[in-house]
Amino acid sequence: MARANELVEEVLNEYRDLLAIVSEDRFKPRAYEKAARSIGGYHADIGGFGVRELQDIPNVGKSIAEKVHELLATGSMQELEELRAQVPAGVRQLMSIPGLGPKRAMILYRECHIAGVQELLDAIHEGRLAGVKGFGKKTEENIVRGVAQLQQSGGRVQVGVALDLAEELLGVLSTVPEVERATYAGSLRRMAETIGDIDLLVASGTPGPVMEAFASNPYVDRVMARGETKSSIITTKGLQVDLRVVPPEVWGAALQYFTGSKAHNVHVREIAVRKGLKLSEYGLFEAESGELIVADTEEEVYERLGLPWIPPTLREDRGEIEAARDGELPTVIELSDLRGDLHTHTDLTDGLAPLEKMVETAAGLGYEYYAVTDHAPNLYMQEMTDEKMLRQRRRLRELAEEQRMVLLHGTELNIDPEGEVDWPAEFLEGFDVTVASVHSHFNQSKDDMTRRIVRAMENPHVNVIGHPTARMIGKRQGIEFDLDAVFEAAARTGTALEVNSFPDRLDLRDEHILWARRHGVRFAVDTDSHSPVHLPFMRFGVATAQRGWLTKDDVINAWPLERLRDFVARKRAGP
């Protein structure tokens, strides 16, 4: 089962939202938000925790600990139930529209009786918001745009959410004795950034008990369709899951078919047709005679078509089939190629765990080096100072002596509207490596934004541009700049572009990576961890890098330490 932490985080966030809607107190909702985040990022499962232990978690005081304990013990929270009774669910939904806060949501409900996204759109179109305090023309336009953004995500979920659920479901299915093999296919196996539905594939000679277990698993909200070898359910979180059961001897063909993408499959099938063959989920057949040729493994299917096996993350018909045919498929980077993480935080700024805990967890992942990159002073709420940074550096150097892993002292700088960063060269000199990111002024013109980022990359002490487009999947579109100009400058200045592994960022995204790669850009696949539980997010960054066709040679943190240090030193030395 999933950790209690995630459930509690979700419930506290709901409580926070409802509080923000009904109460004038600005600090209380903020306290719940912080507690939710700390609990979500806490390294241990809080399932069996008492009030005392809960209070050991950062940002969790006595009163919140008691509420969480009530939730863990009884499955609900009295005060949350009371708020739910006061505020219809649709009002909270209004808050999720980018640009519409809790106060406006409450005004809409109290004064216009609007309690849902569609009702709000109708009211805008009918001009019913004219004259309502706080809803000018400009606000209305922002709302309409925000709703469009929300609907674009169209019920798709982040890959991380889908992967957790798929693994839980495979756990359930693996307990059925009749199951010989089970895996996920579809967009999840291709590790697309968002997932429409989960496709599970099972090999079994006796589908009956498999279907039974699937239809009655604890995550089912309703069963949409149930057949002998095909079923679909909707889970309690609203996500659809399709299951197909196939005979073990056609596993490879079925896996190939259900992994997709559709475009990739169409192209592969054309190749089959040209060879006088027919490819389906049941195998590769002689077209004339209908005789089965292969079905056992994906490798055999591809081989018989004259192709090497193609990694699922590449199967988007973006040239991978031609490359495979010509023997030019890249050897894409693997998780095991990563030697370190170059973008991580501690509780010195907005991280949730102390330096020691982060380092210990990273060392457990087998890294050769690890950079700590807490926020620099211009992100004011983090209250960073030179002294704090230097004190952290001393502590890090001490810790390094007890480690086999090399510890690098870095920072995440803020790129200001002109492209300058926090500290002068003399101070930046003291860091082993730096990340620089856009954290403010997201609405500059495209030209200004391009100049801003290029200027930051021209700084000899900036090594990695963090989450380059600053998008938040399903929430924020991301900044716009001239891609060619920025990618060209990255290659020219010896600045790596980040592939941020956080599942709600995945930034750069796959298409941008493909594009940047053609300019000869180097990349850093980093987690931007704010807690030890974020460190394993590296798998999402690696998958995104694969989808952008990166090899380990393209990625600076897959390099040996000496080569990485040389990358930093060369830029500092100048042309």
**By rule CB under 6 A, what string of x and - marks binding of each residue 255-284 to ligand DGT?**
--xx-xxx--xx------------------
Rule CB under 5 A: say whether 186 interacts with Ca ion.
yes
CB of 261 to ligand DGT, least distance (A): 5
Closest residue by beta carbon to Ca ion: 186
Binding site partner of 341, from Zn ion, ligand DGT, Ca ion, none, Cβ cut-off 5-8 A by kind: none
Q: Which of 195, 277, 314, 486 binds ligand DGT (CB under 6 A)?
A: 195
Q: Does 196 bind ligand DGT (CB under 6 A)?
A: yes
CB of 199 to ligand DGT, least distance (A): 5
> What residues between 195 and 214 interact with Ca ion by CB under 5 A?
197, 199
Q: Which residues contact 212 (CB under 8 A, 6 or more apart)?
A: none
The contact pattern for Ca ion, residues 228-267, with x = CB under 5 A and - = no contact, is --------------x-------------------------
Residue 261 contacts which entry, ligand DGT, Zn ion, Ca ion, none (Cβ below 5-8 A, type-dependent): ligand DGT
CB-wise, 17 or 510, nearer to ligand DGT? 510
Q: Which of residues 197-216 bind ligand DGT (CB under 6 A)?
A: 197, 199
Size of the site for Zn ion (CB under 5 A): 2
Strand partners, 375: 412
Site string for ligand DGT, 347-376 (x = CB under 6 A): ------------------------------
How far is 6 from 17, CA to CA, in rounded Å? 17
Could you say whether residue 232 binds ligand DGT (CB under 6 A)? no
Phi and psi at residue 392, to the nearest 5°: -60, -40
Q: How far is the CB of 185 from Ca ion (least distance, A)?
A: 8
Least distance CB 24 / Zn ion (angstroms): 33
Residue with tokens 């500092």: 572
Contacts of 434 (CB under 8 A, 6+ apart): 373, 410, 411, 412, 413, 428, 461, 462, 463, 464
β-strands 220-226, 230-235 pairing? antiparallel
Stretch that binds Zn ion, among 215-223, 254-262, 304-312, 410-418 (CB under 5 A): 410-418
Q: Are 466 and 435 a contacting pair, CB within 8 Å?
A: yes
**Closest chain position to ligand DGT (CB):** 260
Q: Which residue, 178 or 197, is less far from Ca ion as judged by CB?
A: 197
Candidates 291-299, 385-393, 411-419, 446-454: pick the segment binding Zn ion (CB under 5 A).
411-419
Q: Is 113 in the site for ligand DGT (CB under 6 A)?
A: no
Chain residues 161-190 in contact with ligand DGT, contact rule CB under 6 A: 186-187
Q: Which stretches within 412-529 are classed as H helix? A: 425-428, 446-458, 483-493, 510-517
Cα separation, 321 vs 302, in Å, equals 10
The edge-to-edge listing of strands for the beta sheet with 181-184 is 181-184, 197-203, 240-246, 230-235, 220-226
Q: Which does 266 bind (CB under 5 to 8 A by kind): Ca ion, Zn ion, ligand DGT, none?
A: ligand DGT
Q: What angle do the packed helices 27-40 and 62-74 form, to 10 degrees?
A: 60
Least separation in angstroms between CB 361 and Zn ion:
17
Please report the beta strands in 228-306, taking only residues with DSSP state E, as ranges in sequence order. 230-235, 240-246, 277-280, 283-286, 292-294
- Span 514-543, contacts to Zn ion by CB under 5 A: 528
Minimum distance, C-beta of residue 196 to Ca ion, in the bound complex (Å): 5
Applying CB under 6 A, what is the total number of residues that bind ligand DGT?
Answer: 14
For residue 63 the two structure tokens come to 């009163």
- Give the C-alpha separation, 248 to 466, whole Å: 45
| Angle at alpha carbon of residue 198, lines to 193 and 203, rounded to 5° | 130
Q: Which stretch, 34-42, 167-175, 195-203, 440-448, contacts ligand DGT (CB under 6 A)?
A: 195-203
Strand runs labelled E in 42-108? none
User: Which one, 166 or 384, has the nearer CB to ligand DGT?
Assistant: 166
Query: Residues 353, 531: contact at Cβ < 8 Å?
Result: yes
Complex with Ca ion: residue 41 or 311, whichever CB lies closer = 311
- In three-state form (DSSP H/G/I as H, E/B as E, the rest C), the secondary structure along 383-396 is CCCHHHHHHHHHHH
Residue 144 or residue 150: which is nearer to ligand DGT going by CB?
150
Closer CB to ligand DGT, residue 199 or residue 554?
A: 199
Q: What are the φ and ψ backbone dihedral angles of 516, each rounded to 5 degrees?
A: -65, -35
d(CA 254, CA 204): 12
Q: What per-residue string of b and e applies to 285-318 under the rule 16 or more CB within 10 Å gives b? A: beeeeeeeebbeebebbbeebebeebbbbbbbbb
User: Taking the complex as a whole, how short is the minimal distance between the CB of residue 188 and ligand DGT, in angstroms?
Assistant: 7
Asked if the peptide bond before residue 336 counts as cis, ω within 30 degrees of 0, the response is no
Beta carbon nearer to Ca ion, 40 or 160: 160
Residue 347 makes contact with Ca ion by CB under 5 A: no
Contacts 24+ apart (CB under 8 A), 420-427: 420/455, 420/456, 420/459, 421/376, 421/378, 421/456, 421/459, 421/461, 421/462, 422/376, 422/377, 422/378, 423/376, 423/377, 423/386, 425/460, 425/461, 427/386
Which residues contribute to the site for ligand DGT (CB under 6 A)? 186-187, 192, 195-197, 199, 257-258, 260-262, 265-266
**What is the binding site for Ca ion (CB under 5 A)?**
186-187, 197, 199, 242
Residue numbers at the binding site for Zn ion (CB under 5 A): 412, 528
